[in-house]
Amino acid sequence: CRDIIVVGAGQAGFQAAASLREAGFDGLLTIVGDEPVAPYQRPPLSKAYLAGKATAGTLALRPASFYADHRITLRLGERAALIDRPIQQLELKSGERLGYDHLILATGARNRSLPVPGADLAGVLQLRTLADAEDVQRYLAGVESVVVVGAGFIGLEFASVAAARGIAVTVVEFADRVMSRAVSRPTSAFFRDAHEAAGIRFAFGVGVGRITGADGHVTAVETTDGRAFAADLVLVGIGVVPNVELAAEAGLTVADGILVDQALLTSDPSISAIGDCATFPNSFAGNAPTRIESVQNAVDQARCVAARLAGRAAFYAALPWFWSDQGGWKLQIAGLANPHDLTVTRGDPAQGAFSIFCYRHDRLVGVESVNRPADHMIARRLIAERLPLVPDQAADLALDLRALIR
């Protein structure tokens, strides 16, 4: 394999290129990315960046010199438009064609838009890219009240940054609790209480009916139960849609994300897919087709593909883990906790430091830790290596969990 092209200059695309060079790949290596900037970290966009503790410069995954030093050609601000599979060429929007021996699709995901009247008013914003974050930052400066649509990770991270700036924040959520897709009820309850104590107001079990405005700018959000919440800024955080169109139009199999096998190969053996755009058989979900949106997944899948292309065949089997910073709380999740049928608490939520151990059919499947980073690191090993830990042991603070992983 001589020429490798990566489509998407995000976390996964960057890592694939970096790991290929680390693994000794010596051929031509090109990353095509439609954003105008070199690969950067997204997680701080809703955390440190908005809180004024990070800048565009500090978000870069590597300095510009890295790409030159590693002979990685960055084609930024360029969009891949078509894959001509029979002759193994990638066509850019400009019409230029690049030949490949192997193509890595790392096209990520885009924000789901809110299909209601008024969603196009100025001040209705989303958060995915650095450009989005710059917009939000600019708007935040003069804002008194904010409505966040969606109580997922990004919505809550943004809500806590806004509340800390003295802005009145209301979070509108369709489900009956925060982060319902990702975490257990006890963890949801803890974060709801913590955010309410910080002054954030919640409206659960309702959707957005419409967004109203004056002079083209948002002024309020009307919920489906007839209430209206004042807003100078609306942050929509209702999930993402994987960028699969390029793959689908090339005839690759798509099921939610771009479908890959255990080696992260698509239905074409010359094309891999990784990161937010890929649906893979997940060994921690009984090999069910799974799409995961996280830095861990993007990085580990990139490394797996790089190892394969460098001649060390590997199946993807890394344990999923996640984190989210909300206010002073660091939430870390090991494994895929949902669904589960039993939860056990270790530590004391009232003290602000605890872990929730989630079991499915007597097996530990996920651990959610709040301000207990050591539990998180141990939990990763326990779940990944399927080490035994019965619920009574998980709750017993006298038991040193480290002893179980030695």
Nearest distance from residue 222's CB to ligand FAD, in Å? 26
Q: Which region, judged by CB under 6 A, interacts with ligand FAD, from 38-46, 136-144, 208-216, 363-371?
A: 38-46
- Pick between residue 222 and residue 325 the one whose CB is nearest to ligand FAD: 325
43 part of the interface to ligand FAD, by CB under 6 A: yes
- Work out which of 154, 161, 244, 365 binds ligand FAD, going by CB under 6 A: 154
Nearest distance from residue 37's CB to ligand FAD, in Å? 9
| 8 Å CB contact between 323 and 37 | no
Structure tokens at 38: 């070199």
Per CB under 6 A, contacts with ligand FAD among 279-308 are 293-296, 298
Q: In whole angstroms, give the CA distance from residue 51 to residue 252.
A: 41
364 strand-pairing partners: 359
Per CB under 6 A, contacts with ligand FAD among 55-114 are 79-80, 106-109
Q: To which residue do tokens 């989210």 refer?
A: 324
Q: In whole angstroms, give the CA distance from residue 260 to residue 274.
A: 9
First CA to last CA distance, the chain:
41
Listed residue (208, 231, 206) closest to 116, CA to CA: 208
- Pick between residue 295 and residue 404 the one whose CB is nearest to ligand FAD: 295
- When CB distances to ligand FAD are compared, the closest residue is 10
Listed residue (183, 137, 231) closest to 337, CA to CA: 183
Nearest distance from residue 183's CB to ligand FAD, in Å? 14
238 part of the interface to ligand FAD, by CB under 6 A: no
| 8 Å CB contact between 179 and 151 | yes
Site string for ligand FAD, 16-35 (x = CB under 6 A): ----------------xxxx
Per CB under 6 A, contacts with ligand FAD among 331-370 are none
Structure tokens at 115: 């299909």
Q: In whole angstroms, give the CA distance from residue 198 to residue 401.
A: 33
Q: How far is CA 174 from CA 27, 125, 211, 245, in A?
A: 49, 19, 16, 28
| 8 Å CB contact between 245 and 252 | no
- Work out which of 5, 6, 12, 169 binds ligand FAD, going by CB under 6 A: 12
Nearest distance from residue 240's CB to ligand FAD, in Å? 8
Where on the chain is the footprint of ligand FAD (CB under 6 A)?
7-13, 32-35, 42-43, 45-46, 79-80, 106-109, 127-128, 154, 243, 246, 275-277, 293-296, 298, 322-324
